[in-house]
A and B are shown apart, each in its own frame.
Chain A
Amino acid sequence: MMMDTDVAPDVSVDLKCFHCGQTCEETLWLDDKAFCCYGCKTVYEILNSNNLCQYYDLDKNPGIQLKHKSDETYAYLNEKDIRKKLLDFDSDTFAKVNFFVPAIHCVSCIWLLENLHKIEPGVLRSEVHFTKKTVSVDFNPQLVKLSTIAQLLASVGYIPKITLEDHIADKPKTDRSLVMKLSLAGFCFGNIMLFSFPEYLGIDHSEKDLMRIFSWLNLALAIPVFFYSGFDYITSAFKSFKQKQVNIDVPIAAGLIALFVRSGYDIITATGAGYLDSFTGLVFFLLIGRWFQNKTYESLAFDRDFTAYFPLAVNRLEESEWRPVVIYKLRRGDQIRIRNMEIIPADSKLLDAFAYIDYSFVTGESKPVKALQGDIVYAGGRLIGTPVTLAVEKQTSQSHLTSLWNNDAFKKIEESKYQKIIDRAARRFTWIVLGIAFITAIYWQITEPSSMWLVLTSVLMVACPCALALAAPFTLGSMLRILGKKQLYLKNADVIERMATIDAIVFDKTGTITHGDEPNISFTGELQEEDPGRIKLLTSYSTHPLSMLITKHLKYLSKDAVQDFKELPGQGIQATVAGKVYKIGSAAFTGFRYKIDQEASHVFIAIDDKVKGYFVIKTSVRKNMKGMLQRLGRKCTALLSGDNETDKEQMKKLFPASTQMLFNQSPQDKLDYIAALQRQGKKVMMIGDGLNDAGALRQSDVGLAVTDDTGIFTPACDGILYGAHITQLCRILKFAQSSSVILKIGFGISFFYNAIALSFAVTGHLTPLVAAIIMPISSISVVGFSTLAVKIAASRIKV
């Protein structure tokens, strides 16, 4: 292969990377194509040498940038225990594995991942599941190792996410049974309608026998609908009856039973045609509502716990050899080795001289902490810099961080927390219907006792609040879809109802208000043209967090030779480049003697003992946050940050004056704060990211996790919000509030139809034909109204 690669620093016009489409900072060239980094170039090389460049024709710049590539190896996948957990099927010559690959995003991804066998002959077949973002690979274990496949995926930019959690419990497939029930109900409904047509049109008396056949066929078709499709309503009604509560399923079940029993009686005694068309239609519509509401985002997980954050395995010292081991097998005293950017899996003691640990994940503190030999480092911290050796102190499940999950907030059942609007409406509705039924029964008992039962069942039949039960699923379901398009993914439709009642919002700082890992860096002072390149060259040797930020910030790397490089811990770095002495570090180290503001971190530059200027490193706030926070006004209750108070002044300018600001908050403090607000009767929404907010997110009435990349694991929450859309928050809340108005109007419409139908029933004029007309009309008008109203609300509020 041609390797005519060279760095071309003079081309600074916006060149787009051929692989990933990002603007190139330092351009690498290969085959006349520009690449932004070695990662992208390597992927291109792999694809090119395997004749897979069709990848680039299917979609424009489809690649995934590999800048933050970790040197993770997948050797641990070959361990017996892990292999067993991961593989769906395993034999000598055939094995099947399913990887979750969050990076899957376009047509090219599908094409490349399904052509893996062209790169690696041991792969027999690979198939992408786009909505779940998984790729299932069939391979021959004699030809290729599991670790090689994972490595291959990673090398072309599709890093598989492998965690313990995914393989502990497989998701139950309730979804499918709902569709089966729905399709059965639809099937029976259609056929019963067909057989009921002669009845609607008024059949000749000479064809009475045919009528009987049709009726019996209808009954036969209705039986599976009653005992399979609609049986959930009846069991649910019984359950709520036992708990002495009335929910929406109680009047529905009463209506269904009344319809089925009365129709059965009519048909068996040959007194009428029955109401089975209405009955099956009802069940069909109700199930459609349920199905519509069950919008799920398959590639997102809303209830991950800490285990998702931890690596699957870690290298442990076994008889003077480092061997991968599953983390739950770690015991006290084990020696483990952690590399750059890896997460520490258990509370341990540091055996090496020093290490920088980034706890932003766990505590929200943005600056990495320096640990010295003998210090305890906590599980969940991320190592920055050179590899270190640790001695395990506690098992993962008992670590400092994971103890948060023992809190009650993680144990309570969510259902009982909120009384749904629909159930409140249903309770009132049920009592009214029962009252009407009772009065009617008495009236008919006195005037015409023979038809009392017929009228009573008619009343119960039409009172079945099908339209009422449809209003909520369609209103909330449509909202869920609209919000999903705006990249707010909610766990389920109930969240919208809870969101409408929110009167206190609590924010996290790092990653929510500010960009987590993208600080704002500026330089004050004057530098010569060649200096930035040399500074980058020097800082790139250092693992100090500030050095790393500067390395990332500066564009071009100088090629000059470095002499006498020295790193003085706690002070800075010093080296000679092209005859000049460069000092990069603290004020004292470089000889800077003026006062500067304390809000930000500073790195000073001195060349030949003359201070040339300094870098100011400030946390960067997301765009347009101020306007949104001011509009929220008093609802903005608090800012809880695990970080120190450096940013306090900056935050004060951002938030309304009434907002409380608390810093140095532990995850437990955050949870307690939310609980205290709730005791004051507030409905609290928590907006945060990372594990440090996990407790608060769980405790709050609505917990939204903010993320800039949905591929990254988010803590257990009610919804996942894309970082760029956080400024939409006040609109989203307004939109959610409009749901209650829409629901109430929907209820009104369904009551109106119920009143008409009841007037027929009470007077004893309800015929199968009347029932068959009124029921679908009421359902369709409620569904139509809810969907339309939600669309109008969305366009008016401009969500």
Chain B
Amino acid sequence: MGIITLLITISITIAVVFLAVFYWNMKNGQYDDTYTPSVRMLFDDKPALPEKSSPEKTDKNQVHA
């Protein structure tokens, strides 16, 4: 009996903490835009090397032409 009361208290406390975190995130606008972040994480910053990228580009061009 005593142990159940303890467990319930702990479980409710944790649940309330998560609810609070959810509210906090929402107020910060984390859920305002659900599309852009999903794309943004896929961009990788290529090292800026113009010599290396030029043959690649000609390939691309042939496809388009």
Contacts and interface: CB of A to CB of B under 8 A. Distances in A.
Interface of A: 15-16, 18, 31-34, 51, 53-54, 56-58, 61, 107, 110-111, 114, 127-132, 176, 179-180, 183-184, 187, 191, 207, 209-210, 213, 217
Given A111-B43, A180-B23, A131 B35 contact: yes
Contacts of A114: 40, 43
A598 B8 CA distance: 87
A191 B36 contact: no
Contacts of A107: 39
B58 A32 contact: yes
B35 A32 contact: no
Interface in B1-58: 1, 4-5, 8, 12, 15, 19, 22-23, 26-27, 31-36, 39-40, 43, 46, 48, 50, 53, 57-58
Given A34-B65, A54-B46, A110-B40, A130 B35 contact: yes
A111 B31 CA distance: 20
A34 B1 CA distance: 79
A183 B24 CA distance: 13
Nearest to A49: B50
Contacts of A53: 53, 57
A209 B8 CA distance: 14
25 contacts: A15-B65, A18-B61, A31-B61, A32-B58, A32-B61, A51-B53, A61-B64, A114-B40, A128-B36, A129-B33, A129-B36, A130-B33, A130-B36, A130-B39, A131-B34, A131-B35, A132-B33, A176-B26, A179-B31, A184-B19, A191-B15, A210-B1, A210-B4, A213-B5, A213-B8
Contact of A131 (B15, B33, B46): B33
A129 B4 CA distance: 47
A187 B36 contact: no
Nearest to A56: B60
Given A34-B65, A51-B50, A111-B43, A57 B60 contact: yes
B contacts with A: majority SS: helix
Interface of B: 1, 4-5, 8, 12, 15, 19, 22-23, 26-27, 31-36, 39-40, 43, 46, 48, 50, 53, 57-58, 60-61, 64-65
Contacts of B26: 176, 179-180
Given A110-B39, A128-B36, A129-B36, A33 B61 contact: yes
A439 to B, nearest CB: 43
Nearest to A190: B15
B48 A51 contact: yes
Given A130-B35, A209-B1, A217 B15 contact: no
A111 B45 CA distance: 10
Contacts of A210: 1, 4
B19 A183 contact: yes
A187 B10 CA distance: 16
Contacts of A209: 1
Given A51-B53, A130-B39, 13 more contacts: A18-B61, A51-B48, A53-B57, A61-B64, A107-B39, A129-B33, A129-B36, A130-B33, A131-B35, A176-B26, A179-B31, A183-B22, A184-B19
A107 B4 CA distance: 52
B50 A33 contact: no
A484 to B, nearest CB: 15
Contacts of B61: 18, 31-33
B35 to A, nearest CB: 4
Contacts of A111: 43
Name which of A31, A34, A53 has the most chain B CB atoms within 10 A of its CB: A53
A45 B25 CA distance: 41
Contacts of A127: 36
A191 B60 CA distance: 57
A57 B43 CA distance: 11
A180 B31 CA distance: 12
Given A128-B36, A130-B36, A131-B35, A31 B57 contact: yes
Contacts of A207: 1
What 8 A-B pairs have minimum CB-CB distances, sorted nearest first?
A: A130-B36, A130-B35, A51-B48, A129-B33, A187-B19, A107-B39, A32-B61, A128-B36
A191 to B, nearest CB: 7
Nearest to A183: B22
A189 B44 CA distance: 43
Contact of A18 (B1, B4, B12, B64): B64
A548 B11 CA distance: 74
Nearest to B34: A131
Contacts of A183: 19, 22-23
A33 B64 contact: yes
